[in-house]
Chains A and B, each alone.
Chain A
């Protein structure tokens, strides 16, 4: 018998229907649960819940979901230049002539582009590495889009690189690797400051963050 809360309409316990559902549960429903379970942050219980939600949902909604899933794989692609998600061969940012063509912000994932864009502080271009160096996960520099970055720098237009990888062990290692790689090219290399959250209280900052903030302190000029 399938596990689950008793009394739910999804699998009545009436013998014949119950038996049929149990068999289905092992067949196509089980396939659905298995596939959903492969998504990030979806465990077996969540997968089961989503699967039964889909089973009970309006067929039109499910069709729409299936269509969008196929469409996204079909139409969405990665920008040939920066690696961001895109509808065309160049993403919206790379295709925009108003963007500052002389500076590139290097990030780990396309999600990070969105995060930096939300600030509206940065008007340059991006480069998505597709991860960070992490030998434990078998990710080395050759697995990241570093060669693509180098070819973007070859014509001399770009004068500044901002390495905005995550401030954790893997992100820091990636930043060090990149800065060593790029330092002979006569390009200004910067890394966003680590420090105190704006609007927060000093007393609530953890020691590591506060320590970093002290290391990176600035002179107060009137």
Chain B
């Protein structure tokens, strides 16, 4: 698939902008702060309904206006789909597909699929576990939009469970600290039993939904792993043994099994989660938060025997981040039977010349590649000569070649 036309209204720095695109490589060149990334950000938003740079929609709307519009014409094997999004921060966003409204913006997911690589992605390697969990979960949603629902259910249950742990902590702590003879009457014990029973209900719900999410992530990582190793090696021209392990927050034995690449069935994962919650019950009551579950997990990236975080050089870290994104691209390409749109936002400047050239070779056969760069010379010549180049300055887009 490829984006044939993009138009935005009151998006970021642009009052309006029109951009004709086509298959092959398109490079947007312009100095920093001129609005190159804003355009590819809009395309990323059409595909994922979120920005790769900010968590809320507010900064996406041009200062002083109340809503923004992103309109993209997508060509899927000759069939055209027009997706329109209206961003209304503070109110519900609206969406249209082929000029007819859809009931929820989420329904446009799947019309366009993109893989976006940006300097921020270095945090996949060097940053906190949350970024790596989000990478897996976002990819899950791109592959099958229904995971968006499971993910948000999990977050809601988690919030409820944490609220319960916090509010019931004084009651729950009682019996365990004081000998029973000191408590006058039955009331505290009854209250404790009731609180434990309620906690048991949330345990079973969080384990059910948590095991669905965990199972999906493990299968995804299993599918992703061979592509990751291959992409890393292709970018770095080495045989590195770069791979990724899932670090679950279950008991020691199953955690080790999962790290070794085993994918238990969902029913088993549910039991393992339930057992893990039982194991940390006292600590959870003490601290008032949920201490196990998919929200505490991590993906450990390793080069040979060593973890990439802390041990990998700067160049190796870039290869890893790029390897993860290219692996996601391959996976989506295999799923769909067509190419997602590859977006390389400001990344060539970050790579050494060897990695630049090899990346250029790797992406040469992709249906559509959108590149932004501050300096045209950063982009390998092979890519610049085959495609189209736009110059972006102060929110104006000009066709250069």
Contact = CB atoms under 8 A, between A and B. Distances in A.
A206 B157 CA distance: 20
Given A142-B194, A207-B149, A173 B201 contact: yes
Given A134-B160, A141-B198, A208 B149 contact: yes
Interface in A164-181: 169-170, 172-173, 176-177, 180-181
Interface in B90-147: 104, 145-146
A12 interface: no
Contacts of B314: none
Nearest to A209: B149
Contacts of B163: 135-136
Q: Which of B156, B201, B204 has the most CB of A within 10 A?
A: B201
Contacts of A173: 160, 201-202, 205
Given A176-B204, A207-B145, A135 B194 contact: no
A199 interface: no
A132 B367 CA distance: 51
A44 interface: no
Contacts of B161: 135
B160 A180 contact: no
Nearest to A141: B198
Nearest to A169: B156
B167 interface: yes
B200 interface: yes
Nearest to A175: B201
B193 to A, nearest CB: 11
Contact of A172 (B167, B194, B195, B205): B205
Given A138-B167, A170-B160, A173-B205, A133 B149 contact: no
Contacts of B200: 180
Interface residues of A, number: 20
Contact of A169 (B157, B164, B195, B204): B157
Nearest to B104: A206
B153 interface: yes
Interface string A124-160: 0000000001111010111000000000000000000
B167 A135 contact: yes
Interface string A181-222: 100000000000000000000000011100100000000000
Contact of B197 (A136, A170, A177): A177
Taking each of B104, B157, B197, B198, which has the highest tally of chain A beta carbons within 10 Å of its own beta carbon? Answer: B198
Interface residues of B, number: 23
Residue with the greatest number of chain B CB neighbours at <10 A, chosen from A135, A136, A140, A207: A135
- Could you tell me the dominant secondary structure of chain A's interface residues? helix
Contact of A141 (B153, B194, B205): B194
B159 interface: yes
Nearest to B148: A207
A178 B31 CA distance: 63
A136 B146 contact: no
Nearest to A210: B146
B198 A177 contact: yes
Contacts of B156: 169
Contacts of B145: 207
A178 to B, nearest CB: 9
Contacts of B164: 135, 140
A177 B198 CA distance: 7
Given A135-B164, A138-B167, A211 B198 contact: no
Contacts of B153: 169
Contacts of A140: 164, 167-168, 194-195, 198
A134 B149 CA distance: 19
Nearest to B205: A173
B157 A133 contact: no
Given A207-B146, A211-B146, A180 B201 contact: yes
A181 B198 CA distance: 10
A141 B171 CA distance: 14
B201 A136 contact: no
Contacts of A176: 201, 204-205
Interface string B193-227: 01101101110110000000000000000000000
Given A176-B204, A207-B145, A207-B149, A136 B160 contact: yes
A177 B146 contact: no
A138 B205 CA distance: 18
Contacts of A180: 197, 200-201
28 contacts: A133-B201, A134-B160, A135-B161, A135-B164, A135-B167, A135-B168, A136-B159, A140-B168, A140-B194, A141-B194, A142-B194, A169-B205, A170-B160, A172-B205, A173-B202, A176-B201, A176-B204, A177-B197, A177-B198, A180-B197, A180-B200, A180-B201, A206-B104, A206-B149, A207-B145, A207-B149, A208-B146, A208-B149
Nearest 8 CB-CB pairings of A with B: A207-B146, A135-B164, A135-B163, A136-B163, A208-B149, A177-B201, A176-B201, A169-B156
Given A140-B167, A140-B168, A140-B198, 11 more contacts: A133-B201, A135-B167, A136-B160, A140-B194, A141-B194, A141-B197, A176-B204, A176-B205, A181-B197, A206-B149, A208-B149
